[in-house]
């Protein structure tokens, strides 16, 4: 995308939106960027002169690329809520979301929704994301999935039921209040205050941990306040960098100048209802380097 052409300008005008579509479809920031590159190759070979709705047309091009990527995955996270595999979160400074991050997240309520989306079939995911998140009509979704408009509607309906049955928690809207709860969690963990941890944890709290290729140091999914509290350990010498993780309060854990893990918190009713932890240092470094402003060193 180096030539200064009207088509290039129009693609760049919608880039943030298109990256948001790809991210929601794929749950991976590198794959989202790859999808945009492939979409541009397709767009540059087409003749868009008669396109009346450029944003809608580009959205369908990106969606087709994403659908192919979803179908070609050799391993889909079946029942991902129990597998411990977490999608890429969007990490932002602790003060506020950046404009490009807002486009990525759309109306996301955190990583939990992405985990549920991973249990859908590619066609269900596409129909749900394009219609329920980005408002694309079913008669435009139908050709992408090779179905009738009514069949596309049914795909989205099945996906919607799956999402609702998963009871994805809606976080408290006040991020500052979320941060106070997260700070109380870490304060209690550092002091070894078991009762203090129980006060900030919902009785049915869920902790999901993704260790990447490393040997798992703990169960990938831990449920219940007492079990999660027992897994809350202080790391000597660790610095906790406050960040937003998919728009909600979170932290990056830094040891000896290197980010080693990150934790996103879902706070509802002033209690932690979900914790999503990524403990793969290489992946964490990649995800947080834009916030740190370096290649992973504060």
Residue 233, pLDDT score = 82
5-62 pLDDT tens trace:
778 888 999 999 999 999 999 988 889 999 999 999 999 888 777 778 889 999 999 9
Mean pLDDT of 169-196: 93
Cβ(136)–Cβ(144) below 8 Å: no
Domain shared by 181 and 280, yes or no: yes
- Is the domain of 196 the same as that of 149? no
Q: What are phi and psi of 132, to 5 degrees?
A: -75, -30
Q: Are residues 240 and 260 in the same domain?
A: yes
CA 171 to mean position of chain CA atoms = 15
Handedness of CA 236, 241, 242, 246 (dihedral sign): negative
Residues 207 and 269 in one domain: yes
Where a domain ends, among 138, 165, 192? 165
pLDDT at 39: 95
**DSSP letters spanning 70-124:** HHH-S---TTGGGT---PPPPEEESS---HHHHHHHTT---HHHHHHHTTS-HHH
Q: Is the pLDDT of residue 4 over 50?
A: no
User: Residue 196: what pLDDT?
Assistant: 96
pLDDT of residue 161: 94
Is the residue at 298 inside a domain? no
Whether 213 and 70 map to the same domain: the answer is no
User: Rounded to whole angstroms, how far apart are CA atoms 112 and 168?
Assistant: 6
pLDDT band of 205, cuts 50, 70, 90: very high
pLDDT of residue 102: 58
> pLDDT value at position 285?
93
- pLDDT one-digit tens code per residue, 155-169: 999 999 998 898 888
CATH of the domain at 161: 1.20.140.160
Q: Which residues pair with 259 in a beta bridge?
A: 254
**Structure confidence at residue 82 (pLDDT):** 45
**Whether residue 132 sits in one domain with residue 35:** yes
pLDDT for residue 144: 95
Here the CATH number for the domain that contains residue 209 is: 3.10.450.50
The answer on 143 and 238 residing in a single domain is no
What number is the average pLDDT over the span 75-89?
59
Q: Strand, helix or coil at 57?
A: helix
**How many domains, the chain?**
2
User: Which residue among 135, 165, 195 closes a domain?
Assistant: 165
In this predicted structure, the answer to whether residue 249 has a pLDDT above a threshold of 90 is: yes
pLDDT value of position 251: 96
pLDDT score recorded for residue 271: 97
| Domain extent at residue 151 | 6-89+121-165
170 within domain boundaries:
no
């Amino acid at each position: 995308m180096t030539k200064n052409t009207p088509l290039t300008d129009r693609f760049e005008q919608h880039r943030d939106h298109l990256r948001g579509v790809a991210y929601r479809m794929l749950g991976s920031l590198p794959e989202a960027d790859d999808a945009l590159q492939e979409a541009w190759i397709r767009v540059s070979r087409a003749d868009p002169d008669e396109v009346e709705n450029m944003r809608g047309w580009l959205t369908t091009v990106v969606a087709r690329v994403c659908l192919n990527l979803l179908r070609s995955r050799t391993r889909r996270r079946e029942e991902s809520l129990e597998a411990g595999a977490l999608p890429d979160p969007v990490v932002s400074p602790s003060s506020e979301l950046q404009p490009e991050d807002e486009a990525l997240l759309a109306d996301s309520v955190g990583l939990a929704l992405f985990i549920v989306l991973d249990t859908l079939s590619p066609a269900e995911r596409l129909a749900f994301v394009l219609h329920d998140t980005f408002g694309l009509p079913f008669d435009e979704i139908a050709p992408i999935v090779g179905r009738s408009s009514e069949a596309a509607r049914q795909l989205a309906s099945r996906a919607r039921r799956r999402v609702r049955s998963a009871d994805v928690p809606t976080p408290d809207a006040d991020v500052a209040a979320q941060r106070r709860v997260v700070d109380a969690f870490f304060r209690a963990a550092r002091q070894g205050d078991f009762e203090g941890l129980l006060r900030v944890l919902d009785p049915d709290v869920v902790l999901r941990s993704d260790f990447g290729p490393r040997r798992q140091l703990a169960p990938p999914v831990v449920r219940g306040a007492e079990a999660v509290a027992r897994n809350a350990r202080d790391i000597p010498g660790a610095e906790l960098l406050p960040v937003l993780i998919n728009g909600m309060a979170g932290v990056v854990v830094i040891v000896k100048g290197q980010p080693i893990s990150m934790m996103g918190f879902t706070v509802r009713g002033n209690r932690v209802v979900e914790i999503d932890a990524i403990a793969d240092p290489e992946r964490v470094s990649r995800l947080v380097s834009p916030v740190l402003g370096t290649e992973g060193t504060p």
